[in-house]
């Protein structure tokens, strides 16, 4: 069962939210990589040109300059596509930002396979693995527009390096306008005692739809929004394992190194229970975003099928 929800592009929410913070946070500067309209930081560029720097397709240079600005007391927001912002400057992210724990905010759009027709080379399916491997970075995957606004506001006032992952396509709104984001604290979207579905980003809405469908089959599924992978809310994961005895993870990312790996690691160390993972198992083809999600099983039906598998192992 699929619930009809309004869809909003979180990358646009990011750009508009950033603009509203300019006067409150005069130390914010924005760095772009020749994709400013797509990431919506052109809104900032047009209104605050003296606090905007465009380096073109030179991601290593962008990150290096961001590190220098952070060391000088500024709050740099770096924005480009995820595949460019995490892969190309990885050594600079590691040495210049993560190791000295500088106050740089890396907000990347066009993550995952919702980039669609841009094809395999533009599908960022490894970014969570890369960024979770950098010890001082926090890693957050907002689900919808209300959560994105809260995440960006929190990023500006939370010291330390942060990676925020946003898709290209509009995503369903599952939060009300009064939603409050709590960094590092998982959100229980739905109570349940038979199984826990732990999801993030674009897979949270399908997880909620799957839980609705499973309820009609007398399966009581808890749904958890694990929006922050680093640091992850281990207490929420352990409670899910102890109280439901089975877990399904759902993410629009490669099966290794992302949400599933984080959850499995916590479960293995603290309370071993069966875990099934709904995720990508390799690169996919070019095509419409929705068709790619169906092709790769990243749907409410895919989540429900994983629940049935894990319950057989419970």
Residues in the chain: 314
Q: Tell me the C-alpha distance between 182 and 154, whole Å.
A: 9
12, 59, 243, 251: the active-site residue: 59
Closest CA to 155 of 106, 97, 111, 86: 106
Radius of gyration of the chain (CA): 19
Other beta carbons less than 10 A from residue 256's beta carbon: 15
Q: Is 59 designated active site?
A: yes
Which residue is it, tokens 């869809």?
Answer: 7
Q: DSSP H helical segments within the chain, as ranges?
A: 10-20, 36-39, 42-47, 59-71, 82-87, 90-92, 127-132, 145-157, 204-215, 234-244, 259-270, 289-295, 300-313
**H and E: helices and strands count for the chain:** 13, 14
Q: Tell me the C-alpha distance between 293 and 147, whole Å.
A: 22
Helical pair 259-270 and 234-244, crossing angle rounded to 10 deg: 70
Tokens of residue 178, six digits? 């009064």
Tokens of residue 26, six digits? 């005069």
The SS3 of residue 63 is helix
Instruction: List phi, psi (to 5°) of 53.
Output: -135, 125
Active site residues: 59
């Amino acid at each position: 069962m699929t619930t009809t929800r309004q869809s909003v592009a979180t990358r646009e929410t990011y750009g508009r939210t950033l603009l509203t913070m300019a006067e409150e946070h005069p130390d914010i500067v924005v760095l772009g990589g020749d994709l400013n309209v797509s990431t919506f930081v052109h809104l900032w560029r047009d209104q605050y040109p003296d606090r905007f720097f465009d380096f073109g397709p030179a991601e290593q240079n962008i990150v290096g300059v961001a590190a220098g600005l952070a060391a000088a007391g500024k709050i740099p927001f770096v924005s480009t596509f995820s595949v460019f912002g995490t892969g190309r400057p990885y050594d600079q992210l590691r040495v210049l930002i993560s190791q000295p724990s500088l106050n740089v905010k890396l907000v990347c759009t066009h993550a995952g396979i919702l980039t669609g027709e841009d094809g395999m080379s533009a599908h960022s399916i490894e970014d969570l693995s890369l960024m979770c491997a950098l010890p001082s970075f926090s890693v957050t995957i907002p689900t919808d527009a209300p959560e994105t606004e809260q995440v960006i506001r929190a990023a500006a006032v939370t010291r330390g390096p942060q990676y925020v992952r946003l898709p290209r396509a509009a995503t369903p709104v599952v939060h009300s306008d009064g939603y409050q984001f709590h960094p590092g604290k998982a959100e229980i979207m739905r109570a349940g005692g038979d199984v826990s579905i732990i999801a993030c980003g674009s897979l949270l809405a399908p997880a909620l739809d799957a839980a609705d469908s499973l309820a009609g089959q007398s399966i009581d599924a808890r749904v958890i929004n694990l929006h922050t992978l680093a640091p992850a809310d281990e207490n929420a994961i352990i409670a899910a394992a102890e109280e439901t005895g089975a877990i399904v993870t759902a993410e629009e990312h490669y099966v290794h190194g992302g949400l599933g790996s984080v959850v499995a690691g916590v479960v293995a160390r603290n309370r071993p229970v069966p875990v099934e993972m709904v995720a990508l198992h390799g690169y996919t083809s070019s095509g419409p975003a929705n068709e790619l999600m169906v092709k790769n099983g990243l749907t409410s039906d895919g989540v429900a099928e994983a629940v049935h598998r894990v319950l057989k192992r419970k």
